[in-house]
Amino acid sequence: MDTLDFNQHTSQSYNDELEDIRNLLLNMGGMVEKQLQKSVQSLLSGDLKLAKKVIKKDLGINAMEVRIDEECTQIIAKRQPAASDLRLIIAVIKSITDLERIGDEAEKIAKNAIYLISKNYKSEYFLEIESLAILVAENLKDALNSLARLDVEKALEVAVNDDAVDKAFESLNKDLIGFMSKEPQDLKKIVRLSWSAKALEKIGDHTKNICEYVIYLVKGKDVRHLDLETIKEEYF
């Protein structure tokens, strides 16, 4: 049953409620995507105003998480969803937790940016941070698309792509550690770069989680903690 339609209930208001939840989730995804992009931009271009804006905007994402949670609770209480409806609600509740954490990681990047801007620091490693950020942002965009279209093939592809994010992070982190010993006077600043890279890597992990919820929602299989080969063989 790979084709799910949440708009065919006898109760039109139930259709509307589920539709609202999905729209809110996708809105939240869009907000988080922007936060990631702006936080990295503030770091790379030394834009203090933008970094502060990102930190302020995180409150909106937190509020969105609470609002969607509340709406999901109401649906569970009023409708007692089952089967694909139940999986939708569970997937939404779990996805918004990961989206909120992606928001937190973007906020961390913005805080690192503020520190580095205050020290007037620029680094040759900004380029590598940018490459890592592009990979992560691309994956997040694809994950959110797979969530919007319930596209499990795309979700699996993104989960596979997270390996590239991990590898890019490991390589960058190794370089930064080497850089720390070469430039000990900049240690505190380089650590901030390393934290920013770590935040991007974590965003990659949260993105992968969202893809796993898409697979759960569509296929009804919990693929968390399984290796990708097993997932491909057994569920695709």
Residue bearing tokens 């941070």: 129
What number of chain residues touch another protein (CB under 8 A)? 20
Does residue 12 interact with another protein by CB under 8 A?
yes
- Segment contacting another protein (CB under 8 A): 27-35, 81-89, 95-103, 107-115? 81-89
How is residue 60 written in tokens? 């909106």
Does residue 87 interact with another protein by CB under 8 A?
yes
> What secondary structure letter does DSSP report for 218?
H
Long-range CB pairs of 151-154 (<8 Å, 24+ gap) are 151/214, 152/2, 152/214, 152/215, 152/218, 152/219, 152/236, 153/236
Q: Which is nearer to another protein, 6 or 195 (CB)?
A: 6
Shortest distance (Å) from residue 218 CB to another protein:
11
Based on its alpha-carbon atoms, the radius of gyration of the chain, rounded to whole angstroms, reads 19
Does residue 77 interact with another protein by CB under 8 A?
no
The residues, any chain, with a CB within 8 Å of residue 37's CB and separated by 6 or more, are: 137
- Segment contacting another protein (CB under 8 A): 2-10, 34-42, 45-53, 187-195? 2-10
How is residue 147 written in tokens? 């969530």
Q: Which of 8, 118, 120, 185 binds another protein (CB under 8 A)?
A: 8
Q: Which is nearer to another protein, 85 or 138 (CB)?
A: 85
Does residue 185 interact with another protein by CB under 8 A?
no
Say how many C-beta atoms besides its own lie within 10 A of residue 8's C-beta.
7
Q: Enumerate binding residues for another protein (CB under 8 A).
A: 1, 7-12, 14-15, 79-87, 220-221
